[in-house]
Amino acid sequence: MAGKKIATSFEIQSDANDMLEYAAEKYGLPSKDKALRCLLDYLAKDANWDQVFSLIRCIRCKDDVGWKP
Protein backbone atom coordinates (compact mmCIF):
# COMPACT_ATOMS: atom_id res chain seq x y z
CA MET A 1 0.00 0.00 0.00
CA ALA A 2 1.81 3.06 -1.25
CA GLY A 3 0.74 6.38 0.19
CA LYS A 4 -1.98 7.17 2.66
CA LYS A 5 -5.48 6.88 1.29
CA ILE A 6 -8.58 8.80 2.31
CA ALA A 7 -12.19 7.84 1.82
CA THR A 8 -14.11 10.15 -0.48
CA SER A 9 -17.43 10.15 -2.26
CA PHE A 10 -18.37 11.26 -5.76
CA GLU A 11 -20.97 10.51 -8.41
CA ILE A 12 -20.34 8.60 -11.64
CA GLN A 13 -22.62 7.01 -14.21
CA SER A 14 -23.41 3.32 -13.86
CA ASP A 15 -21.44 2.43 -17.01
CA ALA A 16 -18.35 4.14 -15.56
CA ASN A 17 -18.76 2.04 -12.43
CA ASP A 18 -19.06 -1.06 -14.64
CA MET A 19 -15.88 -0.02 -16.47
CA LEU A 20 -13.93 0.24 -13.21
CA GLU A 21 -15.20 -3.15 -12.06
CA TYR A 22 -14.29 -4.66 -15.44
CA ALA A 23 -10.77 -3.20 -15.29
CA ALA A 24 -10.26 -4.51 -11.75
CA GLU A 25 -11.33 -8.01 -12.77
CA LYS A 26 -9.45 -8.06 -16.08
CA TYR A 27 -6.16 -6.88 -14.57
CA GLY A 28 -6.39 -8.72 -11.26
CA LEU A 29 -6.75 -5.60 -9.16
CA PRO A 30 -8.19 -5.93 -5.67
CA SER A 31 -11.04 -3.47 -6.27
CA LYS A 32 -12.55 -0.86 -8.53
CA ASP A 33 -11.01 1.71 -6.15
CA LYS A 34 -7.56 0.50 -7.23
CA ALA A 35 -8.60 0.70 -10.89
CA LEU A 36 -9.57 4.33 -10.38
CA ARG A 37 -6.27 5.06 -8.59
CA CYS A 38 -4.40 3.56 -11.58
CA LEU A 39 -6.29 5.88 -13.92
CA LEU A 40 -5.55 8.88 -11.71
CA ASP A 41 -1.85 7.94 -11.54
CA TYR A 42 -1.78 7.72 -15.33
CA LEU A 43 -3.39 11.13 -15.58
CA ALA A 44 -0.92 12.59 -13.09
CA LYS A 45 2.21 11.19 -14.75
CA ASP A 46 1.65 10.36 -18.42
CA ALA A 47 -1.50 11.90 -19.85
CA ASN A 48 -1.78 15.12 -21.80
CA TRP A 49 -4.18 17.12 -19.62
CA ASP A 50 -5.19 19.42 -22.49
CA GLN A 51 -6.10 16.39 -24.60
CA VAL A 52 -8.03 14.78 -21.75
CA PHE A 53 -9.97 17.83 -20.59
CA SER A 54 -10.31 19.94 -23.76
CA LEU A 55 -11.75 17.33 -26.11
CA ILE A 56 -15.48 16.83 -25.68
CA ARG A 57 -16.31 13.12 -25.58
CA CYS A 58 -20.03 12.67 -25.75
CA ILE A 59 -20.31 8.94 -25.09
CA ARG A 60 -23.76 9.19 -23.55
CA CYS A 61 -25.40 11.44 -26.17
CA LYS A 62 -28.34 10.34 -28.25
CA ASP A 63 -28.68 6.55 -28.36
CA ASP A 64 -25.27 5.72 -26.92
CA VAL A 65 -25.37 4.39 -23.37
CA GLY A 66 -21.72 4.95 -22.56
CA TRP A 67 -18.92 2.47 -22.01
CA LYS A 68 -19.35 -1.11 -23.17
CA PRO A 69 -16.97 -4.03 -22.50
Dmax (CA) for the chain in angstroms is 41
pLDDT value of position 62 = 67
Grouped pLDDT means (10 residues each) for the chain, 69 residues = 88 92 98 97 95 82 71
Give 35's contacts (C-beta < 8 A, 6+ positions apart).
20, 21, 23, 24, 27, 29
Answer positive or negative: Cα dihedral of 61, 62, 65, 66: negative
